[in-house]
Chain A
């Protein structure tokens, strides 16, 4: 039987329950903070902050970093919160993964070599980070927040995120593997 506690301890909810929860969260985010849920600019900001640290403030002069501004803001804290929230949910439900370098689906096609997976994730990350800034949004900013506002830019983006992703995933698993 479902209890209040099992809401916390279930590893996974119905995807619809989680989705409705995210939808309600988007209301609160608009109403209280006046902002849509979005994450990817924070990675650009963090990258710029790292450069700033090593160049003693030179990065701030780059036109893109002038545009997004290199300081810790609302969205920065949101992304940090996502790490914390996911960690708490994983701990409550006994799903925290320790020592997992290779996801099982990847292992089934490419084996258990951690280095191979980390290099693939690194290259994938470069392309994803570059693409997210190129498209001016990601699966949360465009995919959820933009589409729910019926933004044309976001509907076009999310369709092409998935076209690119579906084709690439099939090439990775059916041609390369």
Chain B
């Protein structure tokens, strides 16, 4: 008969194997993600800022085709019970004020957290020096201010971890299908007007 201690040792060993497996998959998905970001052209300052100046629509094309593809597959897997959605809880303070602050930094830096990792791999020195150091410092300042922010502005206008179908009280596909069609139409229109 196994003792409790032996049990907990095996459990710990299993957990360690799972953790290791999780880290390896994280690395593998990251390598593919970085590869695709570079092939999409979005590890470059000129492409990202070109999008914000509305002269180059590469960023929007990459994002929207990822969203359409992802949405169809993720909602199909969710309806089969294979996966669970992972929805972030929101508030006006976080997702309007915080997002506007993010946008200002996005334009000045010319990279975002995912694409700066890609830009570093691509060799851009402004990304690996000032850009990376700035992001680390910015998150640290946030951590310093977090105790005050969390009971204040981050809670302003809370609406929770809802999805559009739940907000509208309809079946998921009643939103997924029109959302996919609207995004495809938007992409066709962007192509049609010459971007």
Contact = CB atoms under 8 A, between A and B. Distances in A.
A172 B165 CA distance: 38
Contacts of A76: 26
Contact of A128 (B45, B88, B135): B135
Given A78-B33, A126-B105, A150 B165 contact: yes
B78 to A, nearest CB: 9
A83 to B, nearest CB: 4
Contacts of B101: 127, 130-131, 134-135, 164
Contact of A172 (B98, B107, B130): B107
Interface in A49-97: 50-51, 62-65, 72-90, 95-97
A24 B69 contact: yes
A104 B124 CA distance: 12
Of B40, B53, B140, most buried by chain A (CB within 10 Å of CB) is: B140
Of B62, B94, B139, most buried by chain A (CB within 10 Å of CB) is: B139
Of B25, B90, B149, most buried by chain A (CB within 10 Å of CB) is: B90
Interface residues of A, number: 128
A127 B188 CA distance: 34
Nearest to A143: B63
Nearest to A166: B52
A104 B46 CA distance: 7
Given A126-B138, A134-B142, A78 B99 contact: no
Given A82-B118, A139-B114, A31 B82 contact: yes
B131 A121 contact: yes
Contacts of A44: 139-140, 142-143
Of A12, A80, A88, A134, most buried by chain B (CB within 10 Å of CB) is: A134
Contact of B118 (A37, A83, A166): A83
B125 interface: yes
Interface string B21-33: 0111111111111
Question: What's the dominant secondary structure at chain B's contact region?
Answer: helix
A106 B110 contact: yes
A47 B29 contact: no
B77 A89 contact: no
A96 B123 CA distance: 6
A63 to B, nearest CB: 5
Given A72-B23, A140-B114, A168-B108, A135 B95 contact: yes
Nearest to B129: A118
A2 to B, nearest CB: 14
Given A12-B41, A44-B142, A77-B30, A39 B113 contact: yes
Of A24, A25, A125, most buried by chain B (CB within 10 Å of CB) is: A125
| Among all A-B residue pairs, the 3 with the closest Cβ atoms | A81-B30, A164-B103, A125-B134
Interface of B: 22-46, 49-50, 52-54, 58, 61-71, 73-74, 77, 82-91, 94-110, 112-127, 129-144, 146-147, 149-150, 154, 159, 161-165, 167, 172, 175-176, 179, 187
19 contacts: A12-B41, A13-B39, A19-B65, A22-B37, A23-B69, A77-B24, A103-B49, A121-B134, A124-B105, A124-B106, A130-B141, A132-B135, A134-B97, A152-B167, A153-B87, A154-B90, A160-B99, A164-B104, A172-B107
